[in-house]
Homo-oligomer: A and B are copies of this chain.
Amino acid sequence: MECPIARSLERVGEWWSMLILRDAINGVTRFDAFEASLKIAPNMLTRRLRTLVEDGLLERRLYKERPKRYEYVLTDRGRDFFPVILALLDYGNRHFAPEGEALQIVDLDTGRTLDPVLVDRATGEPLAGKRLKLAPGPAASAAMCERYAEKHEASAPAPRRVKR
């Protein structure tokens, strides 16, 4: 696969739903267009689209009465998933594209290529540079709290293990 997003996902998970959302970023809405882009079996595409509609990322809309034809339009929840896709794209470009970038993110208003980086909203500091951990939040169950109460060491960034 040439797409850097697909390259990431090829290694790090399943990917049809994410590729549907990738195409949706560029305005693809119709079954035939998804099918042509993804080279996916129709029954598989139907299933994935249905799931994305059920989960509220896409909305199914009638666009033609005779015969009845539907398109699949991003909802706010679907658009909100873009950061994940864009982070996957960036990761693929940096790690699985030795020949260079085959796909980039372009700002439609300025024409500039965008370089995504995940930062903390409050400070603007990149999360990649921080020593961080995942920890139970206010809605965590007792089991969740117990699980995360075990001693964990920070793993980002290197060096991973600090002697105390």
What does the 1/0 interface line of A135-154 toward B look like (CB < 8 Å)? Answer: 11111110110011000111
What chain B residues lie within 8 Å of A44 (beta carbons)? none
Per-residue interface assignment for chain A, residues 29 to 45, with 1 indicating a CB less than 8 Å from any chain B CB and 0 otherwise: 00000000100000000
Q: Which residues of chain A from 39 to 68 have a CB within 8 Å of any chain B CB?
A: 51-52, 55-57
Asked if A115 contacts B105 (CB within 8 A), the reply is: no
Copies in the complex: 2
Question: Is B155 a contact partner of A103 (Cβ separation < 8 A)?
Answer: no
Q: B residues within 8 A CB of A70?
A: none
Q: Is A69's CB within 8 Å of the partner chain B? A: no
Interface residue from B17, B28, B94, B112 paired with A80 (Cβ < 8 Å):
B94
Specify which of B55, B93, B118 is in contact with A83 (CB 8 Å cutoff): B118
Report yes or no: B11 in contact with A13, Cβ–Cβ below 8 A. no
Interface size on A, residues (CB 8 A): 94
Q: How far is the CA of A30 from the CA of B101 in the complex (A)?
A: 35
Q: Nearest CB to that of A56 among chain B residues?
A: B95
Expressed in whole angstroms, the Cα–Cα distance for A84 and B158 within the complex equals 18
Residues of chain B within 8 A (CB-CB) of A82 are 127-128, 156
Query: Please, which residue of chain B has its CB at the minimum distance from the CB of A5?
Result: B134
Instruction: Collect the chain B residues with CB atoms within 8 Å of residue A137's CB.
Output: 93, 100-104, 113
Q: List 28 A-B contacts (CB under 8 A).
A: A2-B140, A11-B17, A11-B57, A12-B17, A12-B57, A13-B14, A13-B16, A13-B18, A14-B14, A25-B132, A26-B148, A74-B160, A82-B156, A83-B87, A83-B117, A83-B118, A87-B87, A102-B141, A105-B135, A106-B132, A108-B131, A108-B132, A114-B122, A115-B120, A116-B119, A116-B120, A118-B118, A119-B119
